[in-house]
Structure 1
Amino acid sequence: MESNTNLSLLEKFQDWISRSTSLKLLVIGFIALVLLIPQALTIDLINERQERLLETEIEVTNKWSRAQTVIGPYLALPYHYYREVNSNGENKVIKELKTAYFLPDVLDVKGDLQAESLHRGIFDVVVYRGAIELKAEFGEIALGKLDITPEQVLWDQASFMISVSDLRGIGENPNLMLNNFPLLSEPFSDAQTQQKGLQFPASLDSVSKGFNFSGSLKLKGSKDFHIVPLGKTTTMNLSGNWPNPSFQGEFLPEERELSKDGFQSTWKVLHFNRPFGQEFSETLPNFPESSFGLSLKMPVDQYQQSIRTSKYAILIIILSFLALFLMETFSKRRIHPLQYTLVGFALVLYYTLLIALSEQFGFTLAYLIASFATVGLLGFYSKTLFSKLKTTGIFTGILSAFYIFIFVIIKQQDYALLIGSIGLFVALALTMFISRKIDWYKK
């Protein structure tokens, strides 16, 4: 008699477990939390692949040429500086060799950047070849502003300097002229001014009232191209074949024209727009801080979009489990926690599939394929959970709506918060409406 009673209590407990709505919700919530573990590993995988992309970019750019920043031309004038010192009670005059630097009154830059993609494995890296034309007008050299007299200057040792951030990008001998006379070039590296590039020795005339410097420079670089506005008036007209450049630096272009065939942009910067003057002695300011230009980036960063998509994983899991639970409740079909777990694993595996496919086909096509595969798999699996084809179709349609909703959020970055908030409000309202007749105290 006692064993029958115990068996009856055990059966009742098992029946309560299988029918308790509250306990079922707790179990489903626990499964959703456990699924956050593999989802966190998925985000780590995306970060790892993104780091591999950055390593590939560094490897390729180190062999091709890095991002280029052009500073110049500017004039370097060596001069003798005399100072008086007292040594053993005797006054002596010491002569030191120093360098004064003068910037142009007008700097006009015209450039054409022809970009291309270099492939390394499954990754693409953007590089470019540039043809840069420089025209600079130097007025009368303002020696007086630095307390230098013409007699102190070594005019025959003057040089015009053009700083280039990566000298490996210079593909041909520069063709540059001073007052229509060709100049010879040689590399330089100055630890004091922290500049490196090309210098063009020139023997100047102390009575000259100005100089015209002009010519062309062939450059190779990776992704970024910047110049520094050295002129009192600096203009740059830059064009290229890359359809979606990102304009960067301290100044944006006054005019820009973008098309599928490339871009055309124009800058104009005046000397009072920048934080430095026209004449310097011995040291130069940090010119790159005032640089401007553009970056030629790949149109789609699949890893960034994959990370954004994966951040919505817990939302997809919760909404999918909620939809499954409500359909279980109304169809009166019992779904085992293990079946919820299998559905959850399929939702998490989706993101690994998305990463792998996006590296081959791009994010948009990868999202379509991964979503179609996941929704199709869960749709067929739900056929074993629900006896009616109509119920299976509704569940499949709900999953499809979820993935379409997330895709819209990912693509509409500026309105992601607005669209997401409205979507979640609608989902909550539908859940409240559908579940209004459920007896949550039902044993």
Structure 2
Amino acid sequence: MKHPLITKLVALGAVAILLLIGLGQIEDVVRDRQRYRSLTAQSVADSLAGPQTLMGPMIHSACVESWDVETGKGDERRTTEQRREFLLTAMPEQLQVRSSVSMEERARGLHKVNTFNLKAHITAQWGTLASLQAHSTVKGSRLQCGAPIVMVAVGDARGIRTAQVLHGEQALALKPGTFHPTYSRGLHAVLPESVRGQAEPMTLALDLELVGTERLAIVPLGGNTEVKMTGGWPHPSFTGRFLPSERDWGPEGFTAQWRLSSLATTAQQDILNGRRICVGGYDDSPVQYPTDGSSPSTTPRDCADSFSVAFVDPVNPYTLADRATKYGLLFIALTFVAVGLFELMKRLRVHPVQYLLVGSAICSFFLLLVSLSEHLAFGWSYLAAATACVLLLGYYASHMLGSLARGIPLGAGMALLYGLLYVLLQLEQTALAVGSIALFLVLTAVMVLTRKVNWYGLTPAPRNPNVATGAATTPGKDAP
């Protein structure tokens, strides 16, 4: 060939394009598996209960104010009734929640979803119920109010297992629903009319067992709210508008405590204004699980204040596999550079088809990783896939490069790359820094190894046409 180096570079470019197409297909497989996992979580939530939000207890009473208005004159005078409907609400001054959470794993096929069982003891105290006294806004109007109702709202009422409300020593009869115009899911009990407007403090105690999927949120509804939660999940994720003031976790579980004042949260005003509670699908819209495998919880600015605990697995195999696949191009490039260095330094010839086979082996690692991680722990899956690929590449490189002494360093280099990738997958805050430093060290090694290479010597020198024909001319003279 006239320009063998250019021809080979073009062939290697075509190989790289084919490998990029293969990596793209593998990324599509990972995204599909993530989507299946999200559908599994949605299926469990549809069959059991979705992410939960706990709000209450709170007392409300629906009232109607009506009055007569006279219109017309003389014989055409008539009286019409006008009315105004409104809701009286009493928030607790002190709200104390003592809860424990136990975990249970549910599965659909290969995919597993964490569900929880919450057992909570809630104590709510009202200093006065004067806010339940209705006042006329029109002179001579008539006021009529329904019985005071104490309500507890949840994100998904199907998750309520047992509940009991005590008013003093008396157990109140609980019924489904809340009779609240905005937060309709939950339970309620009718209070005696005598509590309306009473000046003495009133205390209610609630025992509640609630199940849900992956996430639990609580609305700090009291003037002072204190929540203490213990659970058997070793790596909880605390999110929402407020982080716990005290927290501790380990292999056996976690303990967290929140202390909030109404001076620091707008939860009471948010509920009075009917703002939706976004965590846990509170606003009567179904919870939509994102297809990237992440949590379904968001807290936009137009939502009521709440805090939450997510019981998700931090080592999501699909998320880690997706992150690993993004390094596929770098792996292929570094491997091609290593083979090219052997080819350059040892005066070897490696065919583009051999480059293609080496790159295909690297691509197969990512497919092995995601498939094995569905059956094994991610660490063991990574070890098995990496070991298989390192052995295969080391064996093939020994024949491709002409000796075992050349194949072993290439295999060792691949093992080092896979080890570095595993470290990067475990890091979150420092992954970029570690990866950048490692890439810089690789570039340094390549530059040091090739510092004495005569790159112009890799291509044939341009031929002098005069020398090639053997002709010679003398200036000023004609050839005979």
Structures share fold, TM-score greater than 0.5: yes
Q: Which residue of 1 aligns with 2:210?
A: 219
Residue 332 of structure 1: CA displacement?
1.7
Q: In structure 2, do the counterparts of structure 1 residues 52 and 280 end up closer, same or farther at CA, with 3 Å as the change threshold?
A: closer
**Distance of aligned partners of 1:202 and 1:317 in 2 relative to their CA distance in 1, 3 Å threshold:** same
> In 2, distance between residues paired with 1:191 and 1:265?
31
1:208 match: secondary structure: coil
Distance 1:280 1:408 in 2: 46
Deviation at residue 272 of structure 1 after TM alignment: 2.0
CA 1:358–1:265: 2 relative to 1, 3 Å = same
1:270-309 deviations in Å (ceiling 9; x for gaps) = 112222546987x634355311120101231011111111
Write the distance in 2 (CA, Å) between the matches of 1:190 and 1:145. 19
Q: Check the 8 A contact 2:267/2:305 in 1, yes or no.
A: no
Structure 1's 82 and 438: CA in aligned 2 closer, same or farther, altered over 3 A? same
Q: Which residue of 2 aligns with 1:7?
A: none
Question: 1:374 & 1:144 partners in 2: Cα distance?
Answer: 72
2:33: which partner in 1? 49
- Per-residue deviation at 1:33? 2.5
Task: Give the superposition deviation at 1:438.
Answer: 2.0
Gaps of 5+ in 2: 279-303, 461-480
**1:193 equivalent in structure 2:** 182
Which structure 1 residue ranges, 5 or more long, are not aligned?
A: 1-12
Partner of 1:248: 239
Q: Which residue does 1:234 correspond to in 2?
A: 225
Q: TM-score normalised to the size of structure 1?
A: 0.90
Distance (whole Å) between structure 1 residues aligned to residue 54 and residue 127 of structure 2: 22
- Equivalent AA in structure 2 for residue 30 of structure 1: A
User: How far apart, CA to CA, are the structure 2 residues paired with 1:30 and 1:213?
Assistant: 74
CA contact (8 A) 2:220 2:267 kept: no
Residue number in structure 2 paired with 1:167: 157
Cα distance in 2 for residues equivalent to 1:185 and 1:28: 74
8 Å CA contact 1:77, 1:158 repeated in 2: yes
> In 2, are the aligned partners of 1:103 and 1:278 still within 8 Å (CA)?
no
Change (3 A) 1:427 1:295: same
Q: Does residue 126 of structure 2 align to residue 138 of structure 1?
A: yes
CA distance in 1, matches of 2:197, 2:427: 63
Deviation, structure 1 residue 140 = 1.4
Structure 2 CA distance for partners of 1:287 and 1:327, relative to 1, 3 Å: closer
1:338 aligns to what SS in structure 2? Answer: helix
Instruction: Decide which moves more: 67-76 or 205-214.
Output: 205-214
Does 2:413 correspond to 1:398? yes
The alpha carbon displacement at 1:399 in A equals 1.2
In structure 2, the CA distance between the partners of 1:373 and 1:26, relative to structure 1 (3 Å rule), is: same
CA distance in structure 2 between the aligned counterparts of 1:280 and 1:68, rounded to whole angstroms: 17
Q: Which has the higher helix share?
A: 1
User: Tell me, what secondary structure is at the counterpart of 2:383?
Assistant: helix
Of 256, 260, 272 in structure 2, the residue corresponding to residue 269 of structure 1 is: 260
Shift of 1:31: 1.5
Cα offsets for 1:316-366 (capped at 9, x unmatched): 000000100110122222111111111111111111111101111122211
- Corresponding letter in the other structure for 1:182: A
The residue number in structure 1 matching 2:474 is: none
Conservation of the 8 A alpha-carbon contact between 2:243 and 2:307: yes
Structure 2 residue matching 1:294: 3-state secondary structure: strand
Aligned partner letter, 1:438: V
- Residue 13 of structure 2: SS of its match in structure 1? helix
CA–CA separation in structure 2 for the residues paired with 1:439 and 1:335: 20
Which range moved further: 43-52 or 293-302? 293-302
1:153 to partner: Cα distance = 6.0
Alpha-carbon distance in 2 for matches of 1:112, 1:153: 42
The one of 307, 322, 328 equivalent to 1:313 is 328
RMSD: 2.3
Distance 1:196 1:231, change over 3 A: same
Letter in 2 for 1:251: F
Residue number in structure 2 paired with 1:125: 113
Call closer, same or farther: CA 1:153–1:269 in 2, change over 3 Å.
Answer: farther
d(CA) in 1 for partners of 2:62, 2:398: 86
1:108-132 deviation per Cα after TM superposition (whole angstroms, max 9, x unaligned): 1111110121122211110011111
**Contact 1:82 / 1:93 at 8 angstroms: preserved in 2?**
yes
Which 4+ stretches in 1 moved above 6 angstroms?
278-281
User: Are positions 1:294 and 2:309 aligned together?
Assistant: yes
Alpha carbons of 1:371 and 1:276: their partners in 2 closer, same or farther (altered >3 Å)?
A: closer
Task: Find the aligned partners of 1:191 and 1:143 in 2 and give their Cα distance.
Answer: 17
Q: Distance in 1 between matches of 2:38 and 2:143?
A: 51
Aligned AA for 1:215? L
Distance in 1 of aligned mates of 2:441 and 2:85: 77
Aligned match of 1:6: none
Residue 3 of structure 1 aligns with which residue?
none
Match of 2:52 in 1: 68
In structure 2, the CA distance between the partners of 1:148 and 1:295, relative to structure 1 (3 Å rule), is farther
From the superposition, tell whether residues 104 and 204 of structure 1 become closer, same or farther in structure 2 (CA, over 3 Å): same
Equivalent position SS for 1:418:
helix
CA apart distance, 1:95: 5.0
The 2-side partners of 1:126 and 1:188 are apart by: 27
- Aligned residues of 1:146 and 1:279 also touching (Cα < 8 A): no
Counterpart CA distance in 2 for 1:280 and 1:111 is 23
Q: Is the 8 A contact 1:105 1:231 kept in 2?
A: yes
TM-score (norm 2): 0.83
Confirm or deny: 8 A CA contact 1:109 1:133 kept in the other structure: yes
CA contact (8 A) 1:328 1:334 kept: yes
